[in-house]
Chain A
Amino acid sequence: MKPSPFNYYCPASVDEAVQLLSDLEDAKILAGGQSLIPLMNFRLAAPEHLIDISGLAELSEIKVDPDEVEIGASVTHSQVLQSEQIGSELPLLWEAEKLVAHEVIRNRGTLCGSLAHADPAGEMTAVLSVLRGKVQTASVSGGRTIQAMDLFEGPLQSSLRDDELIVSATFPTLGPNAVSSFREVARRHGDYAVAGAVSVVEYDDNSLVCSAQAAFLSVGPVPTLISLDDLLVGHRIEDVGYTEIYNFLSSQLDPHGDLQTSADYRRHLAAEMGWASLEACT
């Protein structure tokens, strides 16, 4: 199908973009469009105005510091994967990016766009959640910082106001004693994950767990964050073992069933992915 009519704007700066966003009724930001345009082609979305920020140089930066990685709103998934610095400072982001759709989609789709899209099946929403990252926004009334846990409100619903755009996303890097891993199951490579998990585990000097967090995708209206601290702190993951971890995760997860799979099978898969990602952190 074809999208319904809209007016197109190509602002020269973020200031101009937020002014347009504030002045126009029913306007949407267009970055890579790889989630928005399919919705428009299906007429599930029909904004009257599109404001294209893909060409804004001020949003195209990738900043890699020892403590955090900040990614501008026009940076594509492919550009994240081309940044060797990200690969060495935050390999988890690379691991997750490789699971985002296909290369052809990653060539236009943006990381911040997938956060704004707030799809609970999205890999980036899960990574931002487990790392307790944040996004910076801009609007005519000023910018703010939104923590990951406050950004996602429901399926395809974020806490962004209508007059607000994401300027960048910040992912904290992991310390030398932390390990991370991402595991998901999709019907076909590149499809939306039926279930997936991303884990971050920190160890003390005796190689015992001092913190263990997992975020799950495709199991609820928003990325589901589960702390395994009570179960794992002071222990080794392999000593606690599969059965206890699987049972704990199953008891914490309450996924939905849909055309692809039943709720029970999705719970099983998610708990398996949770175990697999934790086991990969040993």
Chain B
Amino acid sequence: MNAEESYEIRLKVNGRTQHVTAPARRLLSDALRGELGLTGTHVGCEHGVCGCCTVLVDGAPVRSCLTFAVAVQDKDIRTVEGLAAGDGELHPVQEAFKECHGLQCGFCTPGFLMTACALIEQNNDPTEQEITEAIAGNLCRCTGYQNIRAAVRRAAEITRSDKR
């Protein structure tokens, strides 16, 4: 094929619409990191296994490494940078991961946070089974998962008490 064509891509990330010029093959993960400088989204395996690159698209967690940026124009994309409030106050899942030692090296953490965030926004009182099921698609090589499960449980607890 000849010179690679560029596409004008509109991405609505964390409530802000931005324009990116990139080829069609630009993965959403790379557009977020490279074009938009949002390096909170991590890239691990690039074939949908590790879960590090998980972001929310219209509220649902998806693999940004298995999504072309050009294919999610005008969708509501939320990344780990969009979790904390403007004044720096942590989101309940961030607060809970900190409190429960739900991370060590932190590489997988953005993916876990986004996955947990989606779970808790759908259901702020998940069962153990629902928590395990929700995070089953994310790999962590440090924690052994127990603290992550505790963190998700705690995040749900914080969310419930915030609502009261």
Which residues of A are in contact with B by a Cβ distance under 8 Å? Answer: 1-8, 10, 30, 33-34, 37-38, 40-42, 48, 50, 52, 54, 78, 101-105, 107-108, 189-190
| Shortest beta-carbon distance from A113 to chain B in Å | 12
In whole angstroms, how far apart are the Cα atoms of A38 and B63 in the complex? 11
Residue of A nearest to B137 (CB): A102
In whole angstroms, how far apart are the Cα atoms of A1 and B30 in the complex? 11
B94 located at the interface, meaning its Cβ lies under 8 Å from any Cβ of chain A in the complex: no
Which residues of B are in contact with A by a Cβ distance under 8 Å? Answer: 1, 4-5, 7, 23-25, 27, 30, 46-48, 51, 54, 57, 60-63, 65-68, 70-71, 115, 133-134, 136-137
> Which of B1, B5, B7, B65 has the most chain A CB atoms inside 10 A of its CB?
B1
| Shortest beta-carbon distance from A95 to chain B in Å | 15
Q: Given that A41-B46, A101-B137 are known contacts, is A5 also in contact with B25, CB under 8 Å in the complex?
A: yes
In whole angstroms, how far apart are the Cα atoms of A240 and B48 in the complex? 43
12 inter-chain pairs at a CB distance below 8 angstroms, sorted by A residue, are A3-B25, A6-B25, A8-B71, A37-B27, A40-B25, A41-B27, A42-B47, A101-B137, A102-B51, A105-B66, A107-B60, A108-B63
Residues of chain B contacted by A189 (CB below 8 angstroms)? 136
Residue of A nearest to B74 (CB): A55
Residues of chain B contacted by A33 (CB below 8 angstroms)? 66-68, 71
Which of A37, A41, A48, A54 touches B1 (beta carbons < 8 Å)? A48
Complex contact B61–A103 (CB within 8 A)? yes
Residue of B nearest to A26 (CB): B1
Which of B54, B60, B68, B115 touches A8 (beta carbons < 8 Å)? B68
In whole angstroms, how far apart are the Cα atoms of A40 and B68 in the complex? 11
* Prevailing SS type, chain A contact patch: loop
| Shortest beta-carbon distance from A47 to chain B in Å | 11
In whole angstroms, how far apart are the Cα atoms of A30 and B67 in the complex? 10
In whole angstroms, how far apart are the Cα atoms of A38 and B48 in the complex? 7
Complex contact B66–A38 (CB within 8 A)? yes
Residues of chain B contacted by A5 (CB below 8 angstroms)? 1, 4, 23-25
In whole angstroms, how far apart are the Cα atoms of A4 and B24 in the complex? 10
Residue of B nearest to A42 (CB): B47
| Shortest beta-carbon distance from B41 to chain A in Å | 14
Q: Given that A34-B48, A38-B48, A103-B137 are known contacts, is A7 also in contact with B24, CB under 8 Å in the complex?
A: yes
Complex contact A41–B47 (CB within 8 A)? yes
In whole angstroms, how far apart are the Cα atoms of A102 and B134 in the complex? 8
In whole angstroms, how far apart are the Cα atoms of A247 and B115 in the complex? 44
Which of B24, B60, B136 touches A102 (beta carbons < 8 Å)? B136
Complex contact B67–A103 (CB within 8 A)? no
Complex contact B71–A52 (CB within 8 A)? yes
